[in-house]
Amino acid sequence: MFDLILKNGTVYDGTGASGQRVDVGVRGGHIEAVGDLGNDATEVIDCSGLTVAPGFIDIHTHSDATLLSDADGYSLLMQGVTTEIIGNCGFSCAPCMKRELVEKFMIGRLPGQAFTWNSFGEYLDVLQAQKPGLNVGAYVGHNTVRLNIIGNEPRLADEDELTYMGNVLRQSLDEGAIGVSSGLEYNPGFHSDLQELVSIAKVAAEYDATYATHVRNRDWQYEMGVGEALATARLAGARLQLSHLVPKVGAPEHAADHILEMMDWTKRLGIDVGYDVIPHEWGPTFLYTILPRWAYEGGVKEMVRRLADPSLRPKLKHNPFPQWKLVAEKRWSELVLTRSGANPELIGLDFEEIGRRRNADPHDAILDILLEEDENMADLTWVGKISPDRDIRLMLEQSDCAVISDAITLNVTGPLKDVRFAPTAFGWTARFLGHYARDGAMMDLAEGIRRLTSLPAKRMNLDRRGELRPGYFADIVVFDAASIGDNSTLQDMNATPTGLVHVYVNGKAAVADGKRTPARAGQVVRRASRRH
Ligand SMILES: [Zn+2]
């Protein structure tokens, strides 16, 4: 007798194998059997005309702080995601020794939210106590570790600090972190050099854990950014994940092809190189990344002081290499504000329009808006039209390319209901399967499902997830492959997608008939094997 049988659907196991008309039987949170199973179950769900697949896995999110305010997981569950990996781009909520600094620079933190833990393990315990609606694994972030040890100081780490960083990373991995991430376009990660990066990637390698990196640059000097990451992995012997690897607008046209060739050379050396892309032209980041690096010194208080000083304004606006070349090219209409406490009426508007409304140069408007947020300026985010569609498609055509949201998990009710982050937050899986895989005729359904399931599960060494097979956790999604599609727009980012019907997390229905249930069956996924 099963707890649940999904009957009459077309079942894809996640390996890329074609669909089969079989039943899926679930018992005790696991998949018990796949085949002709009859009707002997507490619950039998008719999946006629629908696709049954492993739950989707999002290996790149920034929900570290938001899950603590609301762990429901609504925005991801409603698009079939049953596992997310947080702590990306160098930012994790733990360890937390210099609490105020870690809080100030943490992505997605809500105003007033207090970080009450010290170690990484304590953070994971707090997260599990929130009863997440989906499974969550977490990288430990290099930016966070560096803030704890060196603060905001714009300098290289010395030998003692490198040793200290290594020990903090080891402790975090021992306590369940799934890998080590870096974010080298961000403060304070951009102060590190190759030696520091090799030393942190070596710690990941000791544990056979993934070193994931948001590379130093993907437009002006894309080959330096990608090259540094490849050298880091080669010198450290680490498994590498290149995060959101589409060259940004402003990179030369050949950049994506060149990046693929660069990765190929490194793979030939036996280095395990993976990468992922956001299936959308618009991507998110912090608004304050418009500032030149020198402006970060001393932390947020000093940043506020500099923004308020009219004599420094020309110097602040003179930033020869901003994070996005879009900024240097003054493409203000391709930059949209997504979060602001002081100016909520401007959310969803582009900066050409905001400049018009404020009767100001858009660049000044951005700096003013940062200043108006005062010490919460690190909470402000925007999205930019940063990824050329042709490059997204070229990357997605590669059979080893994973797909990610790069978003934060949100909700339509509760404390997160007014938070906007990126148009991928609610619809990235549906956009990938609908807009790219199906409508763009880029790949068949079996391959599209593999990219969202077994491929990311293998990248992250997830135990018994990412495939529909006996013994695996019963993370399952049931959807209509003909109609699946995303509904998010820049003005209405938090729109749920079309086509998702049922979602199961560890055997419990999280979405039933297209509606979120009250179930909170997610597990914090800790790195299973010990150091070798
Ligand atoms: Zn990133």
Mean per-residue pLDDT for 326-339? 93
Ligand 1 centroid from CA 147, angstroms: 17
Q: What is the pLDDT of residues 437-481, one digit of tens each?
A: 999 999 999 999 999 999 999 999 999 999 999 999 999 999 999
Distance CA 140, CA 176 (A): 9
Confidence of residue 147 (pLDDT cuts 50, 70, 90): very high
* Coil/strand/helix, residue 468: coil
**Alpha-carbon dihedral of residues 132, 133, 137, 140, nearest 10 degrees?**
-50
Ligand 1 centroid from CA 363, angstroms: 23
| DSSP per-residue codes, 314-357 | HHHH--SS-S-HHHHTT-GGGEEEEE-SS-GGGTT-BHHHHHHH
For 508-526, b/e burial (b = at least 16 CB within 10 A) is bbbbeeeebbebbbbbbbb
Q: Phi/psi at 128 (nearest 5 deg)?
A: -65, -35
Contact 20, 31 (CB under 8 A): no
SS3 content of the chain, % helix, strand, coil (to 5): 35, 20, 45
Contact 339, 286 (CB under 8 A): no
Ligand 1 centroid from CA 482, angstroms: 32
Distance CA 410, CA 419 (A): 7
Ligand 1 centroid from CA 62, angstroms: 9
Contact 6, 478 (CB under 8 A): yes
Specify the DSSP element, H or E, that contains 396.
Answer: helix 389-396
Ligand 1 centroid from CA 426, angstroms: 18
Contact 8, 19 (CB under 8 A): no
Ligand 1 centroid from CA 448, angstroms: 23
Ligand 1 centroid from CA 530, angstroms: 28
**CA 455 → CA 25, 237, 343, 461, 517, distances in Å?**
23, 21, 41, 10, 28
Distance CA 232, CA 239 (A): 10
Ligand 1 centroid from CA 173, angstroms: 21
Ligand 1 centroid from CA 327, angstroms: 17
**Residue appearing with tokens 């997610």:** 522
Q: Phi/psi at 481 (nearest 5 deg)?
A: -65, -25
Whole-model pTM?
Answer: 0.95
Ligand 1 centroid from CA 89, angstroms: 4
Ligand 1 centroid from CA 40, angstroms: 47
Say what percent of the chain tops pLDDT 70: 99
For 490-501, b/e burial (b = at least 16 CB within 10 A) is beebbbbbbbbb
Confidence of residue 325 (pLDDT cuts 50, 70, 90): confident
Ligand 1 centroid from CA 406, angstroms: 7
β 23-27/20-21 pair status: unpaired
Tell me which of 101-105, 196-200, 387-391 is least confident.
101-105
Distance CA 267, CA 400 (A): 12
Beta bridge partners of 512: 515
Ligand 1 centroid from CA 276, angstroms: 11
Copy the structure tokens of residue 16.
Answer: 């890329």
Tell me which of 92-96, 176-180, 321-325 is least confident.
321-325
The mean predicted confidence, pLDDT, of the chain is 95
Ligand 1 centroid from CA 91, angstroms: 9
Specify the DSSP element, H or E, that contains 230.
Answer: helix 222-236
Distance CA 173, CA 160 (A): 20
Distance CA 158, CA 152 (A): 15
Fill in the DSSP letter of residue 497. P
Tell me which of 144-148, 182-186, 229-233, 294-298 is least confident.
294-298
Mean per-residue pLDDT for 242-254? 95
Ligand 1 centroid from CA 215, angstroms: 8
* Coil/strand/helix, residue 412: coil
Is residue 172's pLDDT more than 60?
yes
Ligand 1 centroid from CA 34, angstroms: 38
Mean per-residue pLDDT for 268-283? 96
